[in-house]
Amino acid sequence: MKLHEHFRHCPRCGGGLDLGQSPPLTCGSCGFTFYFNPAVATVALVEREDGKLLLVRRARDPHRGTLSLPGGFVEFGETAEGGLQREVFEEVGLQVESVEFFCSLPNEYHFKEVTYQVLDFFFLVKVRSAQTVAEAGEIADLFWCAPGEIDLGEIAFPSVAEALRRFRDARGRDG
For every one of its 175 residues, what pLDDT tens digit does the chain have, with 9 covering 90 and above?
Answer: 566 677 788 989 999 887 777 788 889 899 998 888 999 999 999 999 999 999 999 999 999 999 999 999 999 999 999 999 999 999 999 999 999 999 999 999 998 888 899 999 999 999 988 888 888 888 999 999 999 999 999 999 999 999 999 999 998 854 4
Cβ neighbours, 10 Å, residue 153? 8
Domain boundaries of the chain, sorted by first residue: 1-36, 39-171
Sign of CA dihedral 155, 157, 161, 166: negative
* Prediction pTM value: 0.89
Helix (H) or strand (E) holding 110: strand 96-111
Which CATH class name applies to 39-171? alpha beta
